[in-house]
Structure 1
Amino acid sequence: MRDGNVRAARTAPANGDAMQKYLAEAVGTFVLVLGGVGAAVLAGGRIGFLGVAFAFGLSLLAMVYTIGPISGCHVNPAVTVGLMMAGKFDKRHLAGYVIAQCVGAIIAAGVVLLIAKGAPGGYSAGAEGLGSNGYGVASPEGYGGGAAFIAEVVLTFLLVLTVLGATDSRAPVGFAGVAIGLVLTLIHLVGIPITNTSVNPARSLGPALFAGGDALRQLWMFIIAPLLGAAFASAVYRLVNRPAVQITAARAEQATDEERRERVAGPREVERPV
């Protein structure tokens, strides 16, 4: 009986920690899709490709420092898979992370659609796409399926490799968010004309469910290509990088132990002269 109580006590905090991570991933993905897709749908005509690229990059940058210490701020099933394959993520949480990311993306896409419908004349997700990804006639510049597939694989490779390197135990502490946010901006600058840039199956799933049509029929590419790119990034990372100590992304995105202790302790009292 006593052993059962001990096991229950150990399991409860572990389950609570897992749920906190899943919730953080859902919130982070929500912010990424709301910021990036929202910028494309609601302000794309004013800010252009450059503005949308920065909207995605800045959204991710903010979330790395907001939820990174909790969950690692993957906010992308491809990143989660890449980290798992590189040995930096516990595979027991794979399903929970991916489900949370997809839920966050779907809710964000729904919120963007609700806001867009309030514009004069309304908004049709099916007709206007809701920032969904596509190739061929669904590509912003008409790029074919082959070019789109290659672009998504290579750009996801770049994203996941950057995440792996920036969260390495030897990387400068506290700067992972800057590198990851900037590389996502760069990726969008290259990829928006080709596919509207996915590199993230959850980001593609959310708008596609509301847009339907080509966005839903072509969704397979924006699931398979990013996962393939993540697998390549993991293989290259393992080949060229052999750290002495392996740490998780969440641990790498935290401040140093000394910095955290100082924050918790608060400002020291200044001795006043008697």
Structure 2
Amino acid sequence: MNSPSPVARIAAEFIGTFWLVFGGCGSAIYAAKQVAQSDDGRSTFQLGIGFLGVALAFGLTVVTLAYAVAHISGAHFNPAITLGAAVSGRLPWKDLPGYWISQVAGGLLAGLMLWVIAKGLPGFDRVGNMAANGYGEHSPAGYSLTSVFIAEVLLTAFFLIVVLGSTDGRAPAGFGPLAIGLSLTLIHLISIPISNTSVNPARSTGVAFFNANGAPGQLWVFWVAPLIGGVIGGLIYPLLFENGKLAIGKRAADNA
């Protein structure tokens, strides 16, 4: 079987990142808070999916598209995953710019589509309501910059370990996308109140500028922290579980 072309890999990352941002952030924008009124008009009740539903939505986007295109591009959908894969030797460094560009472009298009659909609701105000990430007054629960930074680094590092481990040639075949999707679900269950959960610079970029309300100014955190976490995870896995070696040159050449 021929290896996927560079265009196919870039297209897979673009589509996968679009789906992740559209599905995950869309669930937060459209479905997290839905209030219905009783027939007599005397009471209201919650129909929204809440934090649990949003966390599951992010996990499901990864599971579904990873099964669809992992054999094409590796199904990163995340600049931090791509960086960690390059550090660990799973991806040639020359492929990193194309992956990053396609991921950010896919996230931005998803953000645009989310806003176009949302503005069809009378009274919808995009400012502060586009599922952006933030710290301080823009954190869902008011967590500080330090707390958000630590959480994003730590969770991204563990995410990389799960990704690299579940896609290792020694791991049970066929379960990688499921493990990665469940891991992302768990990450969101932990950190939605902290930062609205990024662990993915493309996800954060995709909605920040449509959200406004301080999100563009805080976006740097959701690039720097996940990328640091990606490097840490990309170093830890091969050092601990692949005979203590960083076979960056060898495996990157093998995968080229």
TM-score, reference length from structure 2: 0.87
> Is 1:215 aligned to residue 203 of structure 2?
no
TM-score, reference length from structure 1: 0.82
Q: Structure 2 vs 1, CA of residues 180 and 247 (structure 1 numbering), >3 Å: closer, same or farther?
A: farther
Equivalent residue number for residue 135 of structure 2: 135
Q: Give CA-to-partner distance per residue, 1:147-176, whole Å, 9 cap, x none.
A: 000000011011111001011110011100
Q: Give CA-to-partner distance per residue, 1:183-238, whole Å, 9 cap, x none.
A: 00000000100000000000000101212231000000000000000111112112
**Unaligned stretches of 5+ residues in structure 2:** 34-47
Q: Distance in 2 between matches of 1:104 and 1:234?
A: 24
**Unaligned stretches of 5+ residues in structure 1:** 1-12, 252-274
Equivalent pairs: percent with the same residue?
46
Compute the displacement of 1:120 (Å).
2.6
Q: Distance in 2 between matches of 1:38 and 1:184?
A: 16
Indicate if the aligned counterparts of 1:77 and 1:200 stay in contact, CA closer than 8 A: yes
Q: 2:80 aligns with which of 66, 69, 78?
A: 78
Q: Distance in 2 between matches of 1:185 and 1:247?
A: 30
Q: 1:33 aligns with which of 8, 21, 31?
A: 21
Give the total of aligned pairs: 234
Larger Rg over CA atoms: 1
Equivalent residue number for residue 44 of structure 2: none
Q: Give CA-to-partner distance per residue, 1:77-117, whole Å, 9 cap, x none.
A: 00000000000001111000000000000000111111111
Matched ranges for 1:50-199 at <5 A: 50-121=52-123, 123-126=124-127, 128-199=128-199
Q: Distance in 2 between matches of 1:82 and 1:113?
A: 31
Q: Distance in 1 between matches of 2:138 and 2:185?
A: 22
Task: Tell me the secondary structure at the aligned position of residue 129 of structure 1.
Answer: coil
Equivalent residue number for residue 5 of structure 2: 17
Over aligned residue pairs, what C-alpha RMSD do you find? 1.9
Q: Distance in 2 between matches of 1:237 and 1:159?
A: 11
